Amino acid sequence: MSLTVVGTMAFDEIETPFGKSGKIIGGSATYIAWAASNFVKPINQVSVIGEDFPQSELDALTAKGVALDGVQIKKGEKSFYWSGKYHMDMNTRDSLVTDLNVLADFQPVIPESYQGSEFLILGNLTPQVQMSVLDQLKVRPKLIVMDTMNFWMEVALDDLLKVLKRVDVLMVNDGEARQLSGEYSLVKAARKIMTMGPRYVIIKKGEHGALLFHENHVFFAPAMPLDDVYDPTGAGDTFAGGFIGHLAKTKDISFENMKTAIIVGSAMASFCVEKFGTERIREITHGEIATRLEQFVQLVNFDIDLV
């Protein structure tokens, strides 16, 4: 049931209307691994960090079943660093500082021990890095999930389109789906994106849930209404980790099971936002996950007598 995760392991510094985090651990691969490790092991991590990345963080991931053979440690260099400030609506944010550091010339290397991994998720990185990973795989995984962002659509669209031809599932938010497709309607946007390569498209809408598209099918998953939302950073990656983690655990990539995976992803994301950084998703138990999933079932469960 092996899963390979490619993405960033980084430092974040976040300010929201509810407080400041100080310098904490972040990065797409970090969030994905913490979420997915609740469902599947091993998780084969592919990333790059500087000498400043805490050994204690690596040890914590190892203890959760995350293999770090594919994590490059650059001596004398610094890890990727991002600082941002969220507005009151918690959906918009300003990037204050982005220091690529070791990420600037990241050349991923897939270890021999990762070959044959059945599931692959490509976190938000340059399309060239994502393509490099695909080119190194000797056997195509059963399912390839990819995340991207508007920045790559603006500066590396040709490369992005080449990667899209080789993946099964694309995850984007609603603004990115519209930008990539040139369509305002999300139904039309997803349909157009599916002609670019992916058989499935997931459009994330933050606090308004997520949409799953496949052929002529559409499924909507709500987001959990929460009393407290402290920090949305990493929620999308945690969603992705829950989604791919469930699929890797069940080894079932049917549309019906993807519906369940979307709910699992939404549940994991709902934990993530309750505290700063990875703090909340590091501590959740299987019991808490089961309870939250049941809450999701109740959220959308109703009886109706058709007239």
For residues 182-187, average pLDDT: 97
Residue 307 lies in a domain: no
Which region among 18-22, 175-179, 289-293 has the lowest average model confidence (pLDDT)? 18-22
Residue 306 lies in a domain: no
Residue 305 lies in a domain: no
Residue 276 lies in a domain: yes
- pLDDT, residue 192, reads 98
State the pLDDT confidence band at 88, using cuts at 50, 70 and 90: confident
Whether the full predicted model's pTM is greater than 0.85, yes or no, is yes
For residues 34-45, average pLDDT: 97
CATH number of the domain to which 112 belongs: 3.40.1190.20
For residues 202-222, average pLDDT: 94
Cα–Cα distance for residue pair 118/307, rounded to 1 Å: 47
For residues 248-265, average pLDDT: 96
Residue 223 lies in a domain: yes
State the pLDDT confidence band at 1, using cuts at 50, 70 and 90: low
Please check the confidence at residue 69 and state whether its pLDDT lies above 80. yes
For residues 14-18, average pLDDT: 91
When the pLDDT of each residue in the chain is averaged and rounded to a whole number, the result is 95
Structure tokens at 165: 């031809």
Residue 247 lies in a domain: yes
For residues 8-12, average pLDDT: 97
Domain range for 139 is 3-300
Residue 10 lies in a domain: yes
For residues 246-259, average pLDDT: 97
Residue 85 lies in a domain: yes
- pLDDT, residue 228, reads 81
Please check the confidence at residue 188 and state whether its pLDDT lies above 80. yes
Question: Number of folded domains in the chain?
Answer: 1
Question: Identity (one letter) of the amino acid at 214?
Answer: H
DSSP the chain: --EEEE---EEEEEEETTEEEEEEEE-HHHHHHHHHTTT-S-EEEEEEEETTS-HHHHHHHHHTTEEEEEEEEETT---EEEEEEE-TTSS-EEEEEEE-GGGGG------GGGTT-SEEEE-S--HHHHHHHHHH-SS--SEEEEE--HHHHHH-HHHHHHHHTT-SEEEEEHHHHHHHH--SSHHHHHHHHHTTS-SEEEEE-GGG-EEEEETTEEEEEPPPP-S-----TTHHHHHHHHHHHHHHHHT--SHHHHHHHHHHHHHHHHHHTTSSTTHHHHH--HHHHHHHHHHHHHHH-------
List, in sequence order, every residue forming a beta bridge with 94; answer none if it has no partner: 85
